[in-house]
Amino acid sequence: MSGPLDQDSWVDRKRQLLLENGRLAFMEQAGAEPAVVLVHGFTDTSRSFSLLMPHLAGHRLVIPDLRNHGSSFGAEPDGLGCFASDLIALAKAKNLHRPVLVGHSLGAMVAIEACAAAPGLFGALVLIGCSLRPRIGNEHPVTTGLQALRDPIHPADPFFDYWHHCREDVPRAFLEKIALEASGMPAARWRSVLDLIRHVDLTTRVHERGSIETVLINGVEDMLFGSVDRALLVSALPDATAIDLPRTGHNPHWEEPALVAAVIRNCAAAAQ
């Protein structure tokens, strides 16, 4: 395994893909095929997988910033299809042959949509902290917390203590950078993407993803998508491999990067 990545150089290492209606930024690491495509969650950027990357040394990695997150720009999305079309365009532009597609939270939902929209393009699917039909009501802490945010959002806003809650051994330098990047997103965009997520229902779409190996990774202490979400996901995907990680919250790839990487490595080996 390589040593930890330099968080300060992350943005400068990104590459750019010009799209018809914007620009998609992404990180790339050379390595063995099949490639692994890593798709981050709401308000994060490709940096969300920086703690995971050293554990995937030797694998080809492609890690985009979702539309209007980090260094990517485009028209405001009106559904998961907009994010998924960017992801599909990136996979085709990089000539990826049946890569392993890994998505976290919003990125997991986008990954399901991308597999359904482009059957056969991806070789395996790993869903981390996913919900097929998020139950985020008006009184949910995420909803009330986002409603209270005002521009300019400060990276030390108390809301980030909840939003990025994780175990104490997650590097502080990483969490500070993650909060700094999230705070750069206008409050109105936070709320518009949340509204999009609250209306997602993938209970039918997930069955259109094709016959590909699917693995579910969930943190037992996930404060956003809890036991009910996990149960519905497992029920909808009885043939998937479900892995519950104890003492782990909504971001298992931050808290248990070695374990998550081992699962991804196994998927890549099986997809060869």
Q: Please write the tens of the pLDDT for every residue from 146-157.
A: 999 999 999 999
Question: In this structure, is residue 144 part of a structural domain?
Answer: no
> Angle at which helices 187-198 and 141-148 pack, to 10 degrees?
160
Q: Which of 136, 61, 74 minimizes the C-alpha distance to 100?
A: 61
* pTM value surpassing 0.95: yes
Q: Which of 140, 88, 78 minimizes the C-alpha distance to 116?
A: 88
Question: In this structure, is residue 142 part of a structural domain?
Answer: no
Task: Place 252 in a pLDDT band, splitting at 50, 70 and 90.
Answer: very high
Report, as an integer, the average pLDDT of 229-236. Answer: 96
Q: How far apart are CA 154 and CA 67, in angstroms?
A: 22
Question: In this structure, is residue 177 part of a structural domain?
Answer: no
Q: What is the pLDDT of residue 236?
A: 96
Q: What is the CATH number of the domain that holds 265?
A: 3.40.50.1820
Q: What is the pLDDT of residue 156?
A: 96
Question: What is the number of domains present in the chain?
Answer: 1
Sequence-distant (6+) residues with CB within 8 A of 5 are 50, 51, 53, 54
What's the token pair of residue 141?
């802490």
Domain boundaries, position 237? 12-137+201-271
Q: What is the pLDDT of residue 80?
A: 98
Question: In this structure, is residue 104 part of a structural domain?
Answer: yes
Pair type for strands 241-245 and 124-128: unpaired
pLDDT digits (tens, 9 = 90+) for 197-224: 999 999 999 999 989 999 999 999 999 9
Question: In this structure, is residue 232 part of a structural domain?
Answer: yes
Question: In this structure, is residue 247 part of a structural domain?
Answer: yes
Report, as an integer, the average pLDDT of 3-29. Answer: 90
